[in-house]
A = this chain, B = another copy of it.
Amino acid sequence: MAVFLSTYVNKVDKKGRVSVPSEFRKVLSGQTYQGVVIFKSLRYPALEACSAEHMEQLSEDLDAQDISNEDYEAIETSIFGGSVQVPFDGEGRIVLPEHFARFANITDEAAFVGRRKTFHIWEPTALATLEDSMREKARSRDISLSKIVAKASQMRGAQS
């Protein structure tokens, strides 16, 4: 299954249009709705985006899980209520609704950050700041990919 990977920085023109990176569009190309769903991140001053299908998945997962009423309400309101569906234009661009762009402080450049099933849209400078601290955090905890993989294959081995 294709996932959103890598980071791309694209320009926002005066009409508010930004090209969605072609690699991301390829991931979405199988979908019926040609466009993305955007909402404000709960954790970062950034936007989150995914396919319409993934949004439905998210909705089901939410139902399936044991979440308090209060949390459920909060999520429903802020995520589902606060999201927009934005279509691609002929060139694969989207228009960031002005309210959303302002939330993420995006003016003339936008960074698209792959996060597997979803991607983020950041103001590039803010992203760089976060990345540095994340990287430092990952390093200081000695998170190593090969370790994670080794651990996981141990788990698989133990199962079988």
Contact = CB atoms under 8 A, between A and B. Distances in A.
Contacts of A116: 59, 76, 80
Contact of A70 (B23, B137, B146, B155): B137
Q: What is the count of identical protomers in the complex?
A: 2
A43 B65 CA distance: 22
Interface string A94-122: 00000000000000000001111110100
Given A77-B134, A78-B135, A80-B115, A58 B6 contact: no
Contacts of A6: 81-85
A64 B76 CA distance: 24
A45 to B, nearest CB: 13
Contacts of A7: 81-82
Interface of A: 1, 3-7, 23, 37, 42-43, 48, 54-62, 64-65, 70-71, 73-85, 113-118, 120, 130-131, 134-135, 137-139, 141, 143-146, 148-149, 151-152, 155
